[in-house]
Chains A and B, each alone.
Chain A
Amino acid sequence: MRAGPCPVEKDPKFKNMHGFANPARFLRLARWLMPLLLGVGLVLAFGALAWGLLMVPPDRLMGQTVRILFIHVPCAWLGMAGWTTIAVSSLVELVWRHPLAAIAARAAAVPGAAFTAMCLITGSIWARPTWGTWWVWDGRLTSYLILLFLYFGYIALAGAAQRDAAAGSGASRVTAIFGMVGAINIPIINRSVVWWNSLHQPASITMGKSAIDGTFLWPLLIGALGFSCIFGGVVLARMRTLLADIQAEARLRRKAMA
C-alpha cells in the first residue's frame, strides 16, 4: 500500500476519511468561510458590547463595573476553547496523521494566548474595585495564569519544530504531545473553584442553569458567540497563511533542486 504513488486517491476508504485533509478542498472552503466568520463575528461582538457597555442597568452590588463581564467572560471561555482546539487537533494529528490537524493546532495557539491574556488583564482590572486587590494566588487565578504560560511554551515549541521540519516530523509530534498533556489544565481550571476555597466565585452558568439575570445574560451570550466567530475566522486565516508558507517553502526547495 505504501509503495503506491498516492494511496489517498486510490483507496475509497482513505478518500472518505481524508476528504477534509485535502488542502485544496480546505482552502476552497476557507476562502469564503473566513471572511464570513470574521464579518458576522465583528457585527455580533460590537453589537453585544454596545448593548452590554451602554444599555444594561448596573449590577445590584458591583454597579457599573459589572460591564467588564461582557469582555472578561468571552475571553475566558475562548482562552480555554483555544487549548481544547489544540488538544483535539493534536489527538487527530497523532492518531490519524491528519496533515491539516497539525496546522489547525498551531493556528489556534496565538489567538488562544491572546484571549487568555485579555481574560487575565480584564479580570485583574475588575478585581481591584470589586475584591479590593489586583491579584491573588487562589486556585482559579493561578491555574489560569498557568494556561497562559502553557500557551507560551506551546508557541515556542511549535516554532522550533517548524524550523526543524526538514529533519522529519518527530519535532511536530513532540509539539502535539505537549498540546495534549497541557489539556489536563483545562478541567483543573474548570473545577478549581469547586475543589478549593477560592476568592473567585463559582461558575455562574452551569448545565442549563444561570445565576446571571437575563438582562446581563443575553448580551453576554451574543457577545460570546461573536467573539467565537472572530476566533474561528482568525484560526482559518492563520491556517491559510501556514499552508501558503509550506507551499512557498516546497516551491523554493524544488527550485533549488532543479
Chain B
Amino acid sequence: MSAIKAKHQRLVLLVIALAALIGAGLLAAWALSKQASYFYVPSDLMAHPPEQGRAVRLGGMVQRGSIKTMPDGVTITFVVGDGKATVPVRYAGITPDLFVEGSGVVAEGRMEGKTFVADNLLAKHDEKYVPREMKDMTEGQAKAVVAETK
C-alpha cells in the first residue's frame, strides 16, 4: 500500500502548489489591472486627468453624429464617450477603415486643454460578426453599413 500512499501524497502536494501558484498569478494580474490596461476610457481621464502633453491612449465609442471634417479637409474632430463621460478629440491623418460613428476607437496622443489631440487612430472592433445581407439588421447595424459604404 505504500506506493499508493506516496502517490496520494504527491497529488496533494501538487494540488497545494498549484493552488498557491494560481493564487499568486491571479493576485499579480489583479494588481496589474490598472497599470496593464492598453488605454484610458473617458471617465478615467476625467477622474484622474493626466498631465498636459503626456503621451496617453484614449479608448471608447465614437459618439454618433460627432465626426466633423475641418475646412482644411484633413483634420477631423469627434467625441469619444464611454457612457459616463465624453472627451472631444482632434486628429489629422488617415483613419482606419473601421473608424465609424458608434464604433470603438483607440486614439494615441495627449491632452491639450480640454481636447485630446491624437497622433494615431486604431479602430476597435466589437465581438460581433454579422454578414452584411442580414435581413433582421438592427438600426445601429444598418447605420454602420451605410456609413461604411459611403
Contacts and interface: CB of A to CB of B under 8 A. Distances in A.
A137 interface: yes
Nearest to A2: B3
A95 B131 contact: no
A13 B7 CA distance: 13
A181 B19 CA distance: 11
Interface in B9-24: 10-11, 14, 18, 21-22
B59 interface: yes
B29 interface: yes
A130 B131 contact: no
Interface in A1-21: 1-2, 7, 13
Contact of B127 (A95, A133, A202): A202
B61 interface: no
B38 A1 contact: no
Contacts of B80: none
Q: Is the interface of A mostly helix, strand, loop or mixed?
A: loop
A131 interface: yes
Given A96-B7, A136-B122, A58 B131 contact: yes
Contact of B129 (A1, A197, A199, A212): A212
Q: Is the interface of B mostly helix, strand, loop or mixed?
A: mixed
A95 B7 contact: yes
A196 B96 CA distance: 23
A257 interface: no
A124 interface: no
Interface stretch (B45-53, B69-77, B98-106): B98-106
B122 A131 contact: yes
Interface in A133-190: 133, 136-139, 180-181, 184, 187-188
A213 B129 contact: yes
Contacts of A133: 122
Nearest to A58: B132
Contact of B98 (A131, A137, A196, A202): A131
Contacts of A95: 7, 10-11, 14
Residue of B124, B129, B145 with most partner-chain A CB within 10 A:
B129
Contacts of A180: 14, 18
B29 A132 contact: no
Given A58-B131, A195-B29, A199-B124, A94 B21 contact: no
A62 B129 CA distance: 9
B131 A57 contact: yes
A91 interface: yes
A184 B25 contact: yes
A184 B29 CA distance: 11
Interface string B113-150: 00000001111111111111110010001001100100
A240 B125 CA distance: 43
Contact of A204 (B21, B128, B145): B128
The 5 A-B residue pairs with the shortest CB-CB distance, nearest first, are A132-B96, A138-B38, A57-B131, A184-B25, A197-B37
Given A56-B131, A203-B127, 8 more contacts: A60-B134, A61-B145, A95-B10, A97-B7, A131-B98, A131-B123, A132-B95, A181-B21
11 contacts: A60-B131, A60-B132, A61-B125, A129-B97, A132-B96, A136-B38, A191-B29, A195-B30, A197-B40, A199-B122, A216-B131
